[in-house]
Structure 1
């Protein structure tokens, strides 16, 4: 069924360039350490794709592996009545005095002897309140990341970032009739939005009062972006920058301070990306008084599962 292989995200710098595709979007940032990936994704039927490459067959038979870099919320659900009843029996064996329902739920799933319950549950990633994916770990040991995503005291601004490979549509019996694509994940980051904003390095001349609202606005705009399920190269690149490249926040805060508005974001394929998928992300800022527009861009490699920065943010000039 699977082999175990470790891949580590690596940062490279190799300049490239040119437009092809435009996506009107909005943005964000953060950058926790990436965990190593393992194993092989089971594909439709008996086929499988090689870990970390793009040469295997996808589950939909297109011949292309579909990577996902999605931002949403992880939820645990009972796939059937039997699993629900078994969970309640396990709860009766756990000390939950004084705990809320959510705290008790987390306490039961966190106990080592209840790992079988974690495997019984179905794990749903919702994006903007919509059930978007079902989650399965590529390495069984990574099931702990699902438990970590179920906070004992959840907050409205909690965030889960899921990185993995997109599989087939789930059969109806897998999660009580829910039929959405499966993500076989390699990494899940779980944190709160406030922690995200605080982790972004603030420009020296800017106060928290100035920088915080600018960063929050960028983050909210990318989260509310239409149809960003993190499955296209354009959306994967934007979500990567949102989580891993704080310079987009710094630049936005600087331009807001100079009376500019963020008026557009384009994701454009580089003309020099021959054997690799290099995308340029262009941020447009327009002066609120003069209507003069300045543009800045970064290049990101989206060839494999983990996007990475190719060139840092710099001025962009239309040809």
Structure 2
């Protein structure tokens, strides 16, 4: 089927059709050129998790597609003191503590400090994963996640492989799962909303609140750590598929409320792991509920669309 095999690579704001199957990096300024280590039978991801093929029946790989905030922490006193010495060699007059922290890490000669720090992904304020790069060149993605002037709307999306629980020595006693990441996108909510193509008949004043409400609904779902197929699918769609936002704005404009977001295993699942993501909208005047679904393939690390958003009927 042509839709399933279509290459997904253009920026969101370049899409001219809200229901187009093509999906991309969430923002034009997000880095999309990180080297990705191929997964093959018998290899490892560098974090203690096997990288065998998911289709051979023996895979122990657990994929992560998580939305949260990346934080840098000192694993021990030695690293903290070394950072303080590097700070003394950096021009920091007039800078805040956060700007100073960013300035020190951004210097090429201080890249060794980036590798010494421990990097934590927090989700809804909870320490959730300890991050490590599968490709050492990708440590720059960690630095980009540290903003000189952070805001509550900052978002980091981490895509990678989940490994074992970290030992207490790795990050000053923090024991959470290790994620070997292949990609990190760092941006803020306002930039995300502006990057989503707005339907022609919807004003900016109508579209922005609709997009923000749907995004918040997805990331605030209970225990969404981006590790299950259900949550990976929701996070993937929130970042990469503008049609769900266009539909939300359209339904809100017709006096309907978003009353449900559900993920079900698709009847098409067999050798591939395919799920249906179902959005329910109920008219505030008539109580009539309409459902729309989009189908995603979650078999490997990078999800992709199988069918576009279309009406869904319970069987």
TM-score, structure 1 as length reference: 0.86
Relative distance call for 1:193 and 1:43 in structure 2 (3 A) is: closer
Q: Which residue of 1 aligns with 2:151?
A: 155
1:147 deviates by 0.3
Corresponding residue number in structure 1 for 2:245: 249
Q: Say yes or no: does 1:12 pair with 2:7.
A: no
Whether 2:126 is the aligned partner of 1:130: answer: yes
Distance 1:290 1:114 in 2: 62
Cα deviation for residue 37 of structure 1 reads 1.3
- In structure 1, the residue matched to 2:68 is 72
Q: Return the offset for 1:317.
A: 1.1
What does residue 209 of structure 2 align with?
A: 213
Provide Cα deviations, 1:165-201, integer angstroms capped at 9, x if missing partner. 0000000010000000000000000001100010011
Judge conservation of contact 1:237–1:300 (CA < 8 Å) in 2: yes
Deviation of 1:222 (Å): 1.6
Does the 8 A contact of 1:56 with 1:64 survive in 2?
no
- Return the match for 1:120 from 116, 119, 123: 116
Unaligned stretches of 5+ residues in structure 2? 7-23, 39-43
Shift of 1:38: 1.6
2:26 pairs with 1:31: yes
Identify the structure with bigger relative contact order (alpha carbons < 8 Å, sequence gap 6+): 1
Q: How far is 1:30 from its partner?
A: 6.8
Q: Deviation at 1:55? A: 5.8
Give the whole-Å Cα distance in 2 for the aligned partners of 1:80 and 1:217: 40
- Correspondent of 1:315 among 308, 311, 315: 311
Once the two structures are superposed, what CA deviation does each residue of 1:186-234 show, in whole Å capped at 9, x if it has no partner? Answer: 0000001100010011111111111111111111112221100000001
Q: What SS does structure 2 have at the residue aligned with 1:310? A: strand
Task: Indicate if the aligned counterparts of 2:55 and 2:271 stay in contact, CA closer than 8 A.
Answer: no
User: Which SS does the other structure have where 2:54 is aligned?
Assistant: coil
Query: Shift of the alpha carbon at 1:78?
Result: 0.2
Which has the larger displacement, 271-280 or 131-140?
271-280
Residue 115 of structure 1 deviates from its aligned partner by 0.7
Q: Deviations over 1:60-85 (max 9, x none)?
A: xx842100000000000000111000
Residue of structure 1 equivalent to 2:102: 106
SS in structure 2 of the partner of residue 186 of structure 1: strand
Which of 41, 63, 78 is equivalent to 2:45? 41
Question: Deviation per CA, 1:95-152, whole angstroms, max 9, x where unpaired?
Answer: 1111111111000001111011000000000000000000000000000000000011
* Structure 1 position 314, deviation (Å): 0.5
Q: Counterpart in 1 of 2:292?
A: 296
Aligned-residue RMSD, C-alpha: 2.0
Assess if the C-alpha contact under 8 Å between 2:118 and 2:131 holds in 1. yes
Separation in structure 2 between the aligned mates of residue 170 and residue 34 of structure 1, nearest angstrom: 28
Cα 1:48–1:285 shift into 2, 3 Å: closer
Deviations 1:279-308 (A, max 9, x none): 001111001011101011000000000000
Structure 1 segments unaligned to the other structure (5+ residues): 1-10, 15-28
Contact 1:48 1:56 in 2 (8 A): no
Normalising by structure 2, we get a TM-score of 0.87
SS of the residue corresponding to residue 49 of structure 1 reads coil
For the residues of structure 2 that align with 1:43 and 1:74, how far apart are their CA atoms?
A: 18
Retained in 2: the 8 A contact 1:55–1:65? Answer: no
Quickly say closer, same or farther: Cα 1:65–1:123, change in 2 above 3 A: same
After superposition, where does 1:136-151 map in structure 2 within 5 Å?
136-151=132-147
Query: Which whole-Å CA distance do the structure 2 matches of 1:99 and 1:42 have between them?
Result: 37
How far, CA to CA, are the matches of 2:126 and 2:26 in structure 1? 25
TM-aligned CA deviation for residue 56 of structure 1: 8.3
Question: Aligned partners of 1:251, 1:283: CA distance in 2, in Å?
Answer: 10
